[in-house]
Amino acid sequence: MPSPVPADLLAALQNAQTLLCVSHVNADGDAYGSLLGFTYLLRRLGKSVTPVMPDPLDPEFAFLPGAEEIVLPTALHSRFDLAVSLDLSSPDRMGSAAALIDGARLPLAVIDHHATNTHFGQFHWVDARCAATSQMIVALADALQVPLDRPLAEALLTGIVTDTLCFRTSNTTPAVLEAAMRLQQAGADLAQIVQRTLHRLPFRTLQLWALVLDNLQLREGVVWVTVSQQQLRTVGLQSADLRLSSVLSSVNEAVISAIFTEKQDQNGDPTVECSFRARPGYDVGKVAFQLGGGGHTPASGCTLAGTPDDVVARVLPLLFAASQPPPHTP
């Protein structure tokens, strides 16, 4: 079960009338699911809630009820009583929304399930035993005595399904299944959510796989690929959710997988987005945290300055160290 909602955070939510809620850059299903679920839930209590994302809406999640109401930080002009961050392990993941919340001196409540959460904000509810922040919002609905209904259930089951890769990750506990069961009973269509999120692949993404897998590498239990801007351009993609993590992390000979994607920061300087996965018993959460990123024991990431060659050379030794067999416990 999720840990109980802390009394101070619950009181802050109950006392606020106008709330701004925000999730993370490169939003995934749990970012959208928890943001929209939270928005819907608090509106059921008669509150004014504005959902904010630092990036434009990803068309993949446009099917979620209320997705069209999500606004960019630049579109915010009203005043709020409270800001709430969902599925965010550190404030930098808010993108440009962070400066806005800071500037308005808004009290911030943090609801998150990342083990690497840096405990920012005034009110915290961080539960790393939950497989998704959306799972925590089911518990929040219980605490606020709001019954689960279809729009709420659709959003929250989307978050649970995507963060657990459809109940396949090692953190899929009976409590996760119980939350999912209740969401399905409340009207969420599990098969449709899976079809709309995990079980789909743009043709161009598969073409990109063909290019990047040509340079697939395996050493010391680590399998990795690098994705260049040139390769993205060749297939006609600007940026990509590569969707390659599941494939790489299933390679028999590897316990850790990594994807390095060439990017640029706002100044046009080269950066590399790193995405890591580990088999049970191995920890990439620590590696990402060490590098200034974050995530979970089995799935984590960070963005580092430098060219792909520089960054790969810097990160690989840490991954090789993390891929050593765990010490034998008598």
Residues that bind ligand 5GP (CB under 6 A): 89-90, 93, 245, 275, 293-296, 299-303
Helices in 144-202 by DSSP H: which ranges? 150-163, 174-185, 190-196
With binding defined as CB under 5 A, does residue 163 bind Mn ion?
yes
CA–CA separation, 161 vs 200, rounded Å? 14
What residue 19 binds from Mn ion, ligand 5GP, none (CB within 5 to 8 A, per partner kind)?
Answer: none
Please enumerate in sequence order all residues whose Cβ is within 8 A of that of 320, keeping only pairs 6 or more positions apart, or say none.
219, 220, 221, 222
Q: Strands (DSSP E) along 234-280, which ranges?
A: 256-264, 270-278
With binding defined as CB under 5 A, does residue 30 bind Mn ion?
yes
Residue 275 or 323: which CB sits closer to ligand 5GP? Answer: 275
Cβ–Cβ < 8 Å for 259, 242: yes
The residue from 9, 42, 87, 117 that contacts Mn ion (CB under 5 A) is: 87
Cβ–Cβ < 8 Å for 31, 160: no
Residue 33 or 295: which CB sits closer to ligand 5GP? Answer: 295
Q: Tokens 């083990």 belong to which residue?
A: 115
What residue 196 binds from ligand 5GP, Mn ion, none (CB within 5 to 8 A, per partner kind)?
Answer: none
Residue 114 or 196: which CB sits closer to ligand 5GP? Answer: 114
CA–CA separation, 188 vs 180, rounded Å? 9
What residue 164 binds from ligand 5GP, Mn ion, none (CB within 5 to 8 A, per partner kind)?
Answer: none
What residue 30 binds from Mn ion, ligand 5GP, none (CB within 5 to 8 A, per partner kind)?
Answer: Mn ion
Minimal CB distance residue for Mn ion: 30
- 169-185 burial, b if ≥16 CB within 10 A, otherwise e? bebbeebbeebbebbee
Report CA-CA distances (Å) from 92 to 115, 210, 289.
Answer: 16, 33, 13
Residue 87 or 273: which CB sits closer to Mn ion? Answer: 87
Residue 87 or 283: which CB sits closer to Mn ion? Answer: 87
What residue 33 binds from Mn ion, ligand 5GP, none (CB within 5 to 8 A, per partner kind)?
Answer: none
**Shortest CB 198 distance to Mn ion, Å:** 14
With binding defined as CB under 5 A, does residue 127 bind Mn ion?
no
What residue 93 binds from Mn ion, ligand 5GP, none (CB within 5 to 8 A, per partner kind)?
Answer: ligand 5GP
Helices in the chain by DSSP H: which ranges? 7-15, 29-44, 97-103, 133-143, 150-163, 174-185, 190-196, 203-212, 229-235, 245-248, 285-290, 308-322
What residue 296 binds from Mn ion, ligand 5GP, none (CB within 5 to 8 A, per partner kind)?
Answer: ligand 5GP
**Shortest CB 262 distance to Mn ion, Å:** 25
With binding defined as CB under 5 A, does residue 283 bind Mn ion?
no
Sites of contact with Mn ion (CB under 5 A): 30, 87, 133, 163
